[in-house]
Amino acid sequence: MRAQPRASHFVDGAYVEDAGGTPIDVVHPATGEIIARLHEATPAIVDRALAAAERAQSRWARMKPVERGRILRRAAEILRERNRELSVLETLDTGKPLQETLVADAASGADSLEYFAGLAATVTGETVPLGRDFVYTIREPLGVCVGIGAWNYPIQIACWKAAPALSLGNAMVFKPSETTPLSALRLAEILHEAGLPAGLYNVVQGRGAVGASLVSDPRVAKVSLTGSVPTGRRVYAMAAEGVRHVTMELGGKSPLIVFDDADIDSAVGGAMLGNFYSAGQVCSNGTRVFVQKGIKDRFLRRLKERTERIVLGDPLDETTQMGPLVSAAQLDKVLGYIATAQAEGARLVTGGARAGQNDGCFVQPTVFADVTDDMTLAREEVFGPVMAVLDFESEDEVVARANASEFGLAAGVFTADLTRAHRVVAALEAGTCWINAYNLTPVEAPFGGAKMSGVGRENSKAAIEHYTQVKSVYVGLGPVEAPY
């Protein structure tokens, strides 16, 4: 098997196996080839990982932040040195084209490690003067954090959780998605090669039940999940039982609004990036594309032309622009949404069918026009290359319709009128908005959702809030005045 790791789990600084766990077959979705066989973590493995994390964390928290940062910065360098090999692994595991993984996955993980490496030593408390007495505050790590990942950006998600957690003095036990379990193990290896002491970053494999056993363990102080809204609700409820801190990065059905004064090619390019990158498996995708009526025909014509030129094929070929979906289950789900859209009266502009042959999970990049707000395609997250184009006439109307969703992850506006752009963005209910751009998520900017799309923010200085807590220390400088 061409991507078999040394063992299923990475615990207390070393690979460990426990063949007693239920097997997990790792499948390359372009061909159906089994590339690795792992085992789910047994309760004994979960216990070892949490115990190791708890043991290692207090000494790590006492280390000088600049020293913690140095280790993370070295890990970022190793990630960059091994970018190609990590990208090939990510492409085998997810099916995303190498053209993308070479620039977007390990590379953004390295950015995150580098950013939080630098931030570590800048986190300070404050002094609160009270006349004679004063209070000072200390930002302390939370302790043992659990990270749970989705399958669309496996190493990026692993880094986006590990980097802030570790830089701020926490330990982490990470459970990757059972669909894409491989690259987090490589991250664990690299972090230790860079000098991370054993026990601080552990990887355990498993399906939802393993995740649940981590989330409900009393040793855990914080849970950061990237996943769907239904999983988020369950994990949030379990974490609440133990009054644990949470970050919830969940799903979306984000609006992308194109006004009739927009640069058409930029707007079409933004809509394509926001629907077809990673074969549409991006949480912040702008899957409800609202196009103002005056430019509808021109927009659709240009969109159809450019969509039909997308190069679909072997994701390991660097000229391929779109690979398969991540799994056969996701393929069935996406084909189901396409059939429902047709049954509900959406007009197919291009695509709409399975592509390729044999066991590859390929779907043609698909565009539906004349989609209305009540259709399933406009309400539910598809997580595949299926764009819904909706018409609108006025600004007030489109803002109201854009906000009429339980989700609030992201939103975009294309217009030449920047006054309108800022006005519209101010009215949109979303954690991240783009003006004349789409789906750019630099580590320097906070990222996360409003409404059902999540709680908390990843990346940027905002993540400090979510991986530390504040201790207030009151210092009395005079005699105690007691009334008795």
231 near ligand NAD (CB under 6 A): yes
**Contact between 456 and ligand NAD per CB under 6 A:** no
The single residue among 205, 226, 292, 460 that binds ligand NAD, judged by CB under 6 A, is 226
- Per CB under 6 A, which region of 142-150, 302-310, 348-356, 468-476 contacts ligand NAD? 142-150
User: Which residues fall within 8 angstroms of residue 131, CB to CB, at 6 or more apart?
Assistant: none
What's the min distance (Å) between Cβ of 481 and ligand NAD?
Answer: 52
Q: How many CB atoms lie within 10 A of CB 101?
A: 30
Q: Does 208 bind ligand NAD (CB under 6 A)?
A: yes
CA–CA gap between residue 56 and residue 196 (Å, rounded): 10
Q: Which is nearer to ligand NAD, 9 or 68 (CB)?
A: 9
Asked if 72 touches ligand NAD (CB under 6 A), the answer is no
Q: Which of 114, 178, 381, 458 is catalytic?
A: 458
Distance in angstroms (rounded) separating the CA atoms of residues 83 and 483: 67
Among 184, 249, 254, 276, interactor with ligand NAD by CB under 6 A = 249
Beta strands (DSSP E) in 294-418 are 347-350, 354-355, 362-363, 366-369, 386-392, 407-408, 410-414
Q: Is 211 in the site for ligand NAD (CB under 6 A)?
A: yes
What does the alpha-carbon distance between residue 247 and residue 225 come to, in Å, rounded to a whole number? 6
Q: Is 293 a catalytic residue?
A: no
283 assigned to active site: yes
Closest-CA residue to 186 (of 303, 48, 83): 83
Does 381 interact with ligand NAD (rule: CB under 6 A)?
yes
Q: Out of 207, 304, 306, 354, which residue is the one contacting ligand NAD (CB under 6 A)? A: 207
* Residues of span 430-449 touching ligand NAD by CB under 6 A: 449
Nearer to ligand NAD among residue 229 and residue 289 (C-beta): 229
Q: Which residue is nearest to ligand NAD (CB)?
A: 211
Catalytic residue among 283, 296, 361, 433: 283
Closest CA to 16 of 55, 56, 36, 46: 46
CB 366 within 8 A of CB 338: yes
Distances (CA, A) of 461 to 23, 147, 305: 39, 19, 42
Q: Using CA atoms, how far apart are residues 359 and 247, in angstroms rounded to an integer?
A: 36
Report if residue 409 touches ligand NAD, rule: CB under 6 A: yes
Task: Return the number of the residue (40 or 314) whose C-beta is nearest ligand NAD.
Answer: 40
Q: What is the closest distance, in whole angstroms, from the C-beta atom of residue 255 to ligand NAD in the complex?
A: 15
Q: Where are the alpha helices (DSSP H) in 247-372?
A: 264-276, 296-308, 328-343
Closest CA to 202 of 359, 45, 73: 45
**Residue selected from 191, 250, 271, 388 as contacting ligand NAD according to rule CB under 6 A:** 250
Positions annotated as catalytic residues are 161, 249, 283, 458
Which positions lie near ligand NAD, rule CB under 6 A?
148-152, 175, 177-178, 207-208, 211-212, 215, 226-228, 231, 234-235, 249-252, 283, 381, 383, 409, 449, 454
